[in-house]
Amino acid sequence: MSTDTTTTDDTDSTQDMRRNPSKRVFASELNDAVYQFKLSDDDRAPVWTALPTGESANRVFIAGTATLTEETGNGSMMRARINDGTDGGNFYVYGGEYNPNVESLIRQLETPAYVAAVGKINVYNRDDGDAMVSVRPEQMVEISKEQRREWIVETAEATFLRADRFEERVGDEQAMTNDMEIAADEYGDTIEQYREAAREALRAVAGEEPSDAPTP
């Protein structure tokens, strides 16, 4: 699946995807990414989500094993739970009338199944103050075991790079980017748990077949 040329029925959405390619991220980090913002007051301006490792994402590229599918919204939508290869690292994705192809795929999935998706991040703030993060896929496909393994290796690399860059610059006002400043203000600068999630995913796939996974 291409993460920057994915096609949807909405031309504006497709153009937006090419301008703002997706970020690879594990569920543990995405589920903590609850701060969203815009760079302008324009109603059509992209919504960005601050990642705790110091970058911001307009959309994400996720993959893993779909372990549960269910109807929600009085049957008008389908939800899938996707495990990213870590203990408790689950994404939640939704398909409905805004993207019938995704809804149809989720409805027809025979779990467990390997899947990948590119989509926008949704943060729902509950009345009790907690926030729930989910993904609204613009495209979702079934993938092979090898493709799921490749996603884990490449997402681990991306996570290590973000984390290293953030830790090298945090506290240095001249070196920090705006995204890093937002992440530090909103989440703090403790990010080792995201490296550990990446290591956990790499250890899981290392037992399946020979691995050329990067060394953390």
CATH code of the domain covering residue 10: 2.40.50.140
Tokens 């090898």 belong to residue: 146
Question: CA-CA distance, 63 to 27, in Å (whole number)?
Answer: 10
Per-residue pLDDT tens over the stretch 1-11: 654 433 333 33
| Higher-confidence position of 197 and 44 | 197
pLDDT at 163: 98
Mean pLDDT of the chain: 88
DSSP state at residue 176: -
Per-residue pLDDT tens over the stretch 60-88: 999 999 999 999 988 889 999 999 999 88
36-37 and 48-50 beta bridge pairing: antiparallel
**Is the predicted pLDDT of residue 209 greater than 90, yes or no?**
no
Distances 166 to 125, 134, 188, 197, 206 between C-alpha atoms, Å:
27, 24, 11, 17, 27
pLDDT at 21: 85
The domain total for the chain is 1
pLDDT classification of 19: cutoffs 50, 70, 90: low
pTM of this prediction exceeds 0.75 = yes
Distances 141 to 104, 109, 132, 189 between C-alpha atoms, Å:
11, 10, 24, 35
| Residue-number span of the structural domain to which 196 is assigned | 1-216
Interaxial angle between packed helices 145-169 and 192-206, expressed in degrees from 0 to 180 and rounded to the nearest 10: 150
- Sheet containing 48-50: order of strands: 36-37, 48-50, 56-57
